[in-house]
Amino acid sequence: MQFEPTRIPGVVLVKPKVFGDSRGFFLETWEERKFAAGGIDARFVQDNHSFSARHTLRGLHWQAQQTQGKLVRVVTGTVYDVAVDIRRSSPTFGQWVGVELSAENHHMLWVPAGFAHGFVVLSESAHFLYRCTDFYAPQHERCILWNDPDLGIDWRLPAGAAPILSAKDAVGTRFRDAEYL
């Protein structure tokens, strides 16, 4: 298993070793000792699974209390996954990093607490899994507007394609007005 730091410290691209043959493949998606050695010392309390159609954009979400670290991966399809640093005291505050996660590359992304998170589906559909370090608390959930001009996130949508948004995501808060951590 390889743990590759991204340009924002703490956000880590995880590349598991895939053992494949004519029958299919096998890979580890979590092994506490290996992840701790790779700098990710996490205890997970909740697993989530979402299914989304092409161009569905979910995010940018975080919890103001009961903050969550998330280990995310895709089991079918392809997404572009984004983490935005919302830690006011961080030298990378307000910066974002994005990676492509797919069923083909088997990569995972560790998004620690202190980041807003979102993804957009680039394939026809995608099954997206995420393990969380704290429980979902809807009363503490917050959302930054996906297309906030101060962030300038390139969601890799094709020219002219509009994202499919939930009502909540369509009216997210501007980054400059958000409740930071």
44-177: CATH topology is: Jelly Rolls (2.60.120)
The pLDDT of residue 110: 98
Instruction: Kindly state the average pLDDT of the residues 76-100.
Output: 98
What confidence tens digit (pLDDT) does each residue in 109-141 have?
Answer: 999 999 999 999 999 999 999 999 999 999 999
The pLDDT of residue 172: 96
Q: Is 49 a catalytic residue?
A: no
Instruction: Report how far residue 178's alpha carbon sits from residue 131's, in angstroms, rounded to the nearest whole number.
Output: 25
Confidence of residue 48 (pLDDT cuts 50, 70, 90): very high
The pLDDT of residue 29: 95
Average pLDDT, the chain: 97
Q: Do 121 and 147 contact (CB within 8 A), yes or no? A: no
The pLDDT of residue 42: 96
Instruction: Kindly state the average pLDDT of the residues 26-45.
Output: 96
What does DSSP assign to residue 130?
E
Catalytic residue among 61, 106, 107, 117: 61
Q: Is 130 a catalytic residue?
A: yes
The pLDDT of residue 112: 98
The pLDDT of residue 73: 98
Domain boundaries, the chain: 44-177
174, two tokens = 């501007």
With H, G, I as helix, E, B as strand and everything else as coil, classify residue 53.
Answer: strand
Catalytic residue among 117, 130, 136, 140: 130
